[in-house]
Structure 1
Amino acid sequence: MNTMRMKELTDKLRSIGDERERKLFKASRLPFATFSGTFSRRCAEGLVSHSSLLCFDFDHLGDSHEVMRVKLMLVADPYFETRMAFTSPSGDGLKWITQVDLERGTHEQWYRAIRNYLQQQYGLSADPAPSSVVSACFLCFDANVMVGEDIAAF
């Protein structure tokens, strides 16, 4: 994610003023990951293997200082280990990936439970869309990406 090519794409995206044009650019130019699993095709029936990872998306947090504050707060959470955290393509949000034990609940149950916990504990409202196992997460440049020790570099 931290290549000059990703920096150029991210800078270009963030410079686009028109929201429709920005969404089209993001969908057509930025790579994405399906953090929750590998798929034969991107639909629930195409799930080959669940990764035990959940990706949470926090939109419109504010400036880079606020995004970093929230990132550090989540990294320090005593109950959920941060597998990865990075500024969203928009620049004012955060993507946070954590791991769960799927023997203790389904993807959807964990997503709802953690989303409720984050709301109650930190006042954070996670986007409900990534509650689906097939949800795509657009990647972008973040010089301050935080990656868990045993996660391979992108």
Structure 2
Amino acid sequence: MIQNLKVSLYSRKDIIAPTRTVNIWEWLLHKNEYTPIVEKLRNTSNDKERKHLKNSLPAITVSGIFSKRRADCMISPSNLICIDIDGKDNPSVLDMEVLKARLAKLSYVMYCGLSASGKGVFCIIQYDDFGKHKLHFNALQQEFKEMGIIIDSSCSDICRLRFYSYDEHPYVNWNAEVYTHILEKSNTTHLKSKEVTPKNNSGWQTSNETSRTFSIEESLLQSSNLDFTSATPLSKTQEMERLLNLVIERKIDITPIYNDWIKIGLVIKNLFGEKGLDLFLKVSSFYPDYSQEETESKYLELNEKRYRVNTQSLFDIAAKYGIYR
């Protein structure tokens, strides 16, 4: 592993040009003037203040050095990808420290630590070819999904920002394996690998640029390890949130029928109240004529007390588009 990997630093998330370059290990492992902001963020429950604190943090482009935060403006690749695992997307994961320890069993995880909010973790993985960033991401997304974990689809963007965070007890593997698997988006059952030698302690058989039946490292699929979906029964609210996150992950429009759209909004509002607005906006955003202003206005005017909708109706609507609980 290269210990002097440089990446671009951005003082705020809304600027295009980087401020300077930094050594990613200094960024990940050392405290600095932003550490108190992270600690404050983790200790406040006020959503508005949390958002303000997070937006005040600087961020880096983990995958390399860029002249501007655009994929075509890369100056030097780091050959790293960062994947985010948010607690909201994974309601059956009840303890992020436990998750972090279990992810450490994956031989290709180079770093794993708590997110700025403390309600998620992120992993940094060294991959084989930065030119196949999205294909490597697709493979990782599929592998983690098979382990019952949903990772943020935005991580497929090679110039995605990673907010500053600090973890007192991160997992670091200085000898992590380079990740070589790739996956075409249309193929969700097979992976490709350039390696000709089977990975140690895995159930994988690899061959040179040929497809093979997908198989996760079997030891990690035990209920005592990463099979969170079977280890912890989900409540109705968690089941609903998991279903909606599948819709968002797959970017499927389940709202083209107006009455269905209203039912979806009512179910979300019944379960989550005003806090469900962001979820409703994301689910609605795949409609071709989506308007954030209209969607927000509609959600706020929905009267969940006057029109009670059975939560089963949302499962029925999603099933019409091939999405099941």
1:76 aligns with 2:101: no
| 1:35 match | 62
1:3-55 residue CA offsets vs partner (Å, 9 max, x unmatched): 26343111211233332332232122x22221111101111121112211111
Contact kept? 2:81, 2:124, Cα under 8 Å: yes
Structure number with the bigger relative contact order (C-alpha 8 A, sep ≥ 6) is 1
2:167 is matched with 142
Match of 2:46 in 1: 18
Q: Which amino acid aligns with 2:137?
A: Y
Q: TM-score, normalised by structure 1?
A: 0.82
SS in 2 for 1:106: helix
Q: Which range moved further: 53-62 or 126-135?
A: 53-62
Question: Which residue of 2 is the match for residue 97 of structure 1?
Answer: 124
The letter for the 2-side match of 1:72 is A
Residue aligning to 2:149 = 124
**Unpaired runs of at least 5, structure 2:** 1-28, 177-325
Superposed structure 1 runs of 4+ greater than 3 Å apart: 4-7
Residues 118-138 of structure 1, C-alpha deviations (whole Å, 9 max, x = no match) = 110x21100111110010111
Query: Closer, same or farther in 2 for the Cα pair 1:98/1:83, shift >3 Å?
Result: same
Contact 1:37 1:50 in 2 (8 A): yes
More strand by proportion, 1 or 2? 1
Selected match of 2:139 from 99, 107, 113 = 113
2:95 aligns to what? Answer: 66
* Alpha-carbon distance in 2 for matches of 1:4, 1:49: 25
Partners of 1:74 and 1:15 in 2: how far apart? Answer: 25
Q: Bigger CA drift: 64-73 or 5-14?
A: 64-73
TM-score by length of 2: 0.41
Specify the SS of the correspondent of 2:95: helix
Is the Cα–Cα contact under 8 Å of residues 37 and 53 in structure 2 kept in the other structure? no
- Range with bigger deviation, 30-39 or 124-133: 30-39
Q: Report the aligned-residue RMSD.
A: 2.4
C-alpha separation between the residues in 2 aligned to 1:50 and 1:133?
A: 10
2:76 counterpart residue number: 49
Tell me, in whole angstroms, the C-alpha distance in 1 between the residues paired with 2:155 and 2:42: 22
Q: SS of 1:5's equivalent?
A: coil
Aligned amino acid, residue 136 of structure 1: L
1:76-119 superposed Cα distances (whole Å, 9 cap, x missing partner)? 114xx12211101111200101111118x710011011111111
Asked if the contact 1:71–1:94 (Cα under 8 Å) also holds between the matched residues in 2, the reply is: yes
Which structure is larger by alpha-carbon Rg, 1 or 2?
2
